[in-house]
Structure 1
């Protein structure tokens, strides 16, 4: 059947990428449940506290380890954070490092207590899972570790992040948990955006290197825990580090990751720039090679143009996507301007109004 005349795929609800511009987890969870409880399979805690700017708090954590130094003499401030990169001190073997807690497990376990209470009180619908977002090791190592130290430091950081995941898995019941791996620097690598004469990656084959590493993280999650990926082109001041030309790289990467992971991938989320309601952007999704059981979410909701803009992008997507899909923002909205958070929830609800319950 010609895709232009094929029935539009039935949507599957909404997805919250992770960060939400509230001050605490309880407000995030309550608001998500109130506005979208019958449209969401998972609810995150909003990445509150030091996680407000994704991985920007990690250099401060890592710099506490003996044998790690900051690059630069003066702090580089992002609110309460110092985001200067790090390096191995002279003569230090990365394998000998003992890293401090990275903060992800402690935050998840604290927020889980709130989620569990609210679900038992009936605020959060039964069956909704608690979503924990984690960065890929590539994201942290490529963003904040001195280039010449990245290859040696990667396995050390990956092991520390795996230990954080293990703590989460030991505390939160598996049937109520979902893990999302956030892949952003991967697309800076795939778009070859490093400054002239340098590179973010420390491996030769960028497609194999990035996809195999993400598949390895997916496979760390037990099969009774849901796992998904958020594919990202960045979100600094609500802008991508480069606007994707179309969904070709996103589709190719998602397919490679799904193929290389040995366990089922429960969902994939990818961005849709606000200006793209054209066929050229969405056409490569017609060849998206992920399993039928894997949910697809398109980040076509934007605060600037609300329901009308989302529906334009939705209509364009439906002309090319050959599977059910749901909607989301293109990244988290933890860095959206004050006062725009509730309208974003309302836009999600309005766009999904005709879709019924999940």
Structure 2
């Protein structure tokens, strides 16, 4: 088995604050990481769920249903555009991503100045695709009209981040999850399709490419391809990597700028050739880093080694390792052992 090339942290880490996340990541994986996220602490604990509450604050937006759907302190009810309101007249409140990133950047830059973070390491900001939020939390009848409103608001958050953080210190990751619910033909809780467009492959990949191209060329940009993470379970287990490969190829081809990295999941039980074989058709440049999410807390370095061996029979290029999603929803106390597992299986980049 050839040692994999470095490690990647997808985003969420099960710590309470950014400083603990950054310090711990640097301590355990500093020489094996190119970038460190803040752990998606606070209201971002459950990824995009807090966006429903943010959107619900806007004038002209109503929550769907009279009974809150609680998750911790959040309300997961979707939103709709109020009767008589035009989508283009909506003014959304701050979405929270820029405020969180700038707060965590202050911590990151302070720790780097103190020598706790390696000098070459970038600060990673993970953002959802607009499709993910609109498809998850906007009533189906309003998705097409609301999409450009939300996309513009998220682009404004990105612009604040780009204006405040030095570009040679920054990396942006786009998290694409609901895209795969669409590609797998899943439907929402109302029984309606998630998508509001006809060609699901072109519609999802071209939208992701549009977000990739929002990131300037002097800022790193990557994508996390995701099958969900609720109680450490996917919304559907991928049969193999075929849909992941097809989607990545389409997005890379549609984007005008090069992609810095691609990350994709590997379920814990998959150390078979059938799962990895479609990766032979992955058409990303050699300069684009590939990370396979094959590290799992349940079987540690030994299980990761089996999955690495299977991957190497079909991935004829260097790749790094990661978990299949973030590990913010892992049990309390699992984070440090997961960092140690990453270090055990990842050689220096």
Same fold (TM over 0.5): yes
In the alignment, is the contact (CA less than 8 A) between 1:9 and 1:321 conserved in 2?
no
Aligned length: 348
**Paired position in structure 1 for 2:300:** 306
Structure-2 separation of matches of 1:197 and 1:66 = 28
Q: Among residues 309, 325, 329, which one is paired with 1:331 in the alignment?
A: 325
Is residue 2:113 matched to residue 1:120?
yes
What is the alpha-carbon root mean square deviation over aligned residues? Answer: 1.0
SS state of the match for residue 57, structure 1?
A: helix
Structure-1 separation of matches of 2:130 and 2:301 = 36
**What 5-or-longer segments of structure 2 have no aligned partner?**
none
Q: TM-score, normalised by structure 2?
A: 0.98
Is residue 2:259 matched to residue 1:265?
yes
**Paired position in structure 2 for 1:228:** 222
SS state of the match for residue 123, structure 2?
A: strand
Structure-1 separation of matches of 2:142 and 2:2 = 47
Q: Among residues 266, 272, 281, which one is paired with 1:278 in the alignment?
A: 272
SS state of the match for residue 160, structure 2?
A: helix
Q: TM-score, normalised by structure 1?
A: 0.96
SS state of the match for residue 347, structure 1?
A: helix
Cα offset, 1:61, TM superposition: 0.4
**Paired position in structure 1 for 2:209:** 215
Structure-1 separation of matches of 2:198 and 2:303 = 40
Structure-2 separation of matches of 1:228 and 1:200 = 24
**Which consecutive aligned stretches of 4+ in structure 1 deviate over 6 angstroms post-superposition?**
none
Q: Among residues 49, 53, 58, which one is paired with 1:60 in the alignment?
A: 53
In the alignment, is the contact (CA less than 8 A) between 2:3 and 2:345 conserved in 1?
no
1:1-358 equivalences under 5 Å are 11-194=4-187, 198-352=192-346, 355=347, 357-358=348-349
Cα offset, 1:9, TM superposition: 6.4
Structure-2 separation of matches of 1:291 and 1:91 = 49
**What 5-or-longer segments of structure 1 have no aligned partner?**
1-7
In the alignment, is the contact (CA less than 8 A) between 2:226 and 2:265 conserved in 1?
yes
